Amino acid sequence: PTFESRGKVLGAPPHGSMSVSAAITGGDARLHGARTAVRAESYGSRIAWAGVCALLFVAPFEALRPLLQLPGQAVSTTEAALLTVFAAWIAAQVVLRAVPEWRTPLTLPWLALLAVMLTAAVAAPVHQANAVHMVGRLGLAFGVFLLAVNGVTTAGRLEGVLVAAALSGVLVSTL
């Protein structure tokens, strides 16, 4: 038998590469159609990717005191960053008339979990406000997931996110 140094060949190579978000969503996550849709995907996707990277740098350095104190809610620096990133991404989607990718294999289970959690939170006999607040936090986590699905669309962007996470970790470790 002949041994090849590259390992076992399991079939013909694919005809194109699949984006990271396409692997998560089970298909091609890119928008198709008119030239505007392609530009919208590119611009909105870049904003989403930059937002994911920014959140990786901001989250570990959350201030001990709230940035803004509202009745019943304190807004931290991380929450303000989340709101800023979401606002920029949503504004880009609205201006460019683009629909973000949201149909993934994890969307329905996540939404079902949020619905059950919200039902339980509203029905809670004690600490109802805290329970609803936690549902909101999980809703924000779902938003971050969608941000990543729409922003991390190439291997290069995934590498950028991993580098941002590593650099953020290095900065945290030096403190």
Is the full-model pTM beyond 0.85? no
Residue 73, helix vs strand vs coil: strand
Cβ atoms of residues 109 and 20 within 8 Å: no
- Alpha-carbon span 82 to 143, nearest angstrom: 9
Q: What is the pLDDT along the chain (175 residues), one digit of tens a residue?
A: 454 555 555 555 455 445 555 555 555 444 443 344 444 458 899 999 999 999 999 999 988 888 888 887 788 899 999 999 999 999 999 998 989 999 999 999 999 999 999 999 999 999 999 999 899 999 999 999 999 999 999 999 999 999 999 999 999 999 8
Half-sphere exposure of 145 (CA within 13 A, CB side): 16
Rg over CA atoms, the chain: 20
